[in-house]
Amino acid sequence: KIFQEVLSKSQSFNMLVFHQNAVVESLKTHLSVKNSMAYQPLLDLVVQLARDLQMDFYPHFCDFFIIVTSILETQDTEVLEWAFTCLSYLYKYLWRMMVKDIDKIY
């Protein structure tokens, strides 16, 4: 379903930037589904979105941090690995902005 929601909004970088709020909301909605079978591709999409948008993605970081850390309440080691990998890449791509905003991040 997310594929249909975001496909037409992400055909180019310019379209992605223009529709970033809709894409972000779709990702947040689908990531918030408990025990989803789609965590791996969704978390990967979050990482790719952060990599592509970088500074434009940063205002959404806190929301994604909360959602991804809530996924960590599982006993499934693969899901834990996917979530931690997602968080590590978010830190990798956004660290410059985080350093400037360290009080909020901490």
Q: Please give the pLDDT value at position 25.
A: 94
Q: Please give the pLDDT value at position 98.
A: 87
Q: Please give the pLDDT value at position 43.
A: 96
**78: exposed, middle or buried (Cβ count in 10 Å: 0-12, 13-18, 19+):** exposed
**How close are the terminal C-alpha atoms of the chain, in Å?**
35
Which has the higher per-residue pLDDT, 57 or 105? 57
Whole-prediction pTM: 0.87
Structure tokens at 75: 């006993």
61-71 vs 77-100: helix axis angle to the nearest 10? 160
Q: Taking the mean position of all CA atoms in its chain, how far away is CA 22?
A: 13
